[in-house]
Amino acid sequence: MTLILDGVSKVVGGQTHIHSTDLTLEKGTMNVLLGPTLAGKTSLMRLMAGLDAPTTGRILWNGEDVTGQRVQDRRVAMVYQQFINYPSMSVRDNIASPMKLMGVDRAEIDRRVREVAEMMRLTPMLDRRPLELSGGQQQRCALARALVKNAGLVLLDEPLANLDYKLREELRAEIPRIFEESGAIFVYATTEPEEALLLGGNTATLWQGRVTQFGATPTVYRRPVDATTARVFSDPPMNFLRVRKTGGTLSFGEGQSSLVPDAASELTDGDYLAGFRPNHVVLDRPVEGAMTFRTKLAVTEITGSETFVHLDHHGERWVGLVHGIRVLKPGQELVIHLDPAHVYVFTEDGALVSPASYAEAA
């Protein structure tokens, strides 16, 4: 069971929503679409489902061209962030509705409804109607309806965004196992890099309607092919600064330098772009060999056990993520430390030329 997007694009009113895209999704795999709002995640899923027709290209299902096939004739289930249920039906009938349409035996329907209701913690609510449920319970009902359908392709468009934290974390752990056992192709859209890492599987990063990279999630995270992918797969986005290569040295300004990584040793001397993730910014007790940079604090965001520090480095805006609650004053000077092992090197056009050495060792 394979879904292939072959040169698929979507143009609406002269605007390109999806640029030419080639993707192959295999049976029993989890495939995360990661990108900011309006990156094209929902547009791509609608093409996969058959809700929209591509402007160019083909969609193949198990080798069969289904580009013009109606969504009703495909084995597809889709769940949106905004839950959709039948308000006049009980939760039990909502969950059972796709199986009834497929003519499944009543005993089998009852068995599968009970099974998925238990998994979704909906058993006590089976006789209620959706409007009698909380928002989180209504979304679980919509998820349950997708699970019982036994679809070959399951598309989830930010389905956990409206759930409380505890249930969201539990379902993140359960969903991969559920769909791996079902053998379905699972496509999950999210704006959160952390969610992509938790779900695992494969990740396609999207930016302005383009798939910038697709592969095993840890690989895409550790070895982004370009600065755009690195920016997408970092929350907050990756920080950047200009560097110059001279012989075996990378100069970062302010007298800071490091040895050129082996992967970049053959590069010609010149200007490049260095990147580092916010969680690699250190305020206290730097490791031996760390570089130091003088910055000015713009603002802090305290999230509880961590603090985001927004920094101004000679006009460049950086963000650091540090542990603990930091009471700091806007405008004060902050000296930050950065381990060269956490630095990526890109060309000025953004192509990766040297991953961080910690990523190579991972």
Structural domains of the chain, with CATH:
2-228 (3.40.50.300), 237-361 (2.40.50.140)
DSSP assignment string, 30-73: EEEEE--TTSSHHHHHHHHHTSS--SEEEEEETTEE-TT--GGG
pLDDT exceeds 70 at position 218 = yes
The structure's pTM equals 0.88
For residues 191 and 260, what is the distance between their CA atoms, to the nearest angstrom? 34
Query: Cβ distance 23 to 211 under 8 Å?
Result: yes
Q: What is the pLDDT of residue 361?
A: 54
Residues, the chain: 362
**Where residue 359 falls among pLDDT bands split at 50, 70, 90?**
low
Classify 216 as helix, strand or coil: strand
pLDDT exceeds 80 at position 185 = yes
**Where residue 239 falls among pLDDT bands split at 50, 70, 90?**
very high
pLDDT in tens, 16-43: 999 999 999 998 889 999 999 999 999 9
pLDDT in tens, 59-84: 999 889 999 888 878 888 888 877 78
Alpha carbons within 13 A on the beta-carbon side of 189: 25
pLDDT exceeds 90 at position 93 = yes
Closest by alpha carbon to 182, among 110, 75, 33? 75
Which range is least confidently modeled, 70-74, 161-165, 199-203?
161-165
Residue percentage of the chain with pLDDT more than 70: 97
For residues 345 and 227, what is the distance between their CA atoms, to the nearest angstrom? 9
Residue 274 tokens, joined: 């260095």
Which range is least confidently modeled, 3-12, 213-222, 259-268?
259-268
